[in-house]
Each structure stands twice: as structure tokens, then as C-alpha cells.
Amino acid sequence: MRNDHVTLRSTAVFDLLAPRTPAVPVKVELRYDTRDPYAVVAAFRTGRAGWVEWVYARDLLADGLLADAGDGDVRIRPSVEDPEAVLIELNSPSGHAMFEASAQELADFLDRTYDVVLPGNEHQWVDVDDALTHLIPHDLA
């Protein structure tokens, strides 16, 4: 386990896509924290209500830049219409959203995460004892 934790942040604008309407720009903050080295957080600005956060695997983002990736609530794939764009599809019980984002911006962010934690070295940043403490109830009686 490493103790020199780093948090990377990057802001971007994703286009919210909907049928028969113009795309709506949405501010997004991408975050990567070495305390959770396998994950990326995308926080979507939802107006005055604040932010909605989605957490997904860093590998999913990397895979989605190259090909259709994900089979759960988050799916990422290159755009067929625009080779410089990536589509990010989010599904939840409360709805569905499709965003288009710059492939280059996402790749640059991903490269910055690799500068901090190389793929395959994530386990060096995980504190197993701390993770178990948070998972196991303290009053087992």
C-alpha cells in the first residue's frame, strides 16, 4: 500500500444527446483518486441541484475509447459518426442518458491517471485492512 495519495481532476463538457432535439452541453468533472485506483468518477453538473456522480472502472473508460465496452449501467464506445468522439451511455432506475464526449480529452485524462498509477499496479495502492474495516459491521453482537 502506498501513502502518497493523489487526486487528479479534469473538467470537460459532454453533450447530452436526445432524439429530435439539439445537444445540450453539460459540465463534467472527471476525477481519479489513488485511494480507489481502479475507478474513475464522472460528476455531472445538474444545474442548481448540484452534481450527480457516476463511478466506473478505469479499464472500462480505456476499453471504451477503442471499442464497445460495458454491459451494465455504464457503456462506452467510439462514435460511428465522428471518429473524434466517444459515446457514454448511463442507465439507472430513474432514467437513461446518452452523452457524446471528446475522445482526445478522455484519452488525455486517462494518460494522466497512468502517469500516477500504471495499469496492473493498482493493487499497490489498496489498503486491504482499511477496506475490510469499512465492509465489516463493527457491532457483530
Q: Domains in the chain, start-ordered, CATH in brackets?
A: 7-134 (2.30.31.20)
112 vs 37: CA distance, rounded Å: 13
Q: How confident is the model at residue 125 (pLDDT cuts 50, 70, 90)?
A: confident
Is 60 exceeded by the pLDDT of residue 141? Answer: no
C-alpha cell at 118: 500504471
pLDDT for 3: 67
User: How far is it, in rounded angstroms, from Cα 114 to Cα 125?
Assistant: 13
Quickly state the pLDDT bin for 139 (edges 50, 70, 90).
Answer: low
Whole-model pTM: value is 0.85
CB 109 within 8 A of CB 124: no
Of all residues in the chain, the percent with pLDDT exceeding 90 is: 70
- Show the beta-strand stretches assigned E in the chain: 7-17, 24-33, 39-45, 51-57, 74-78, 85-92, 95-102
Q: Average pLDDT for residues 19-28, to the nearest whole number?
A: 94
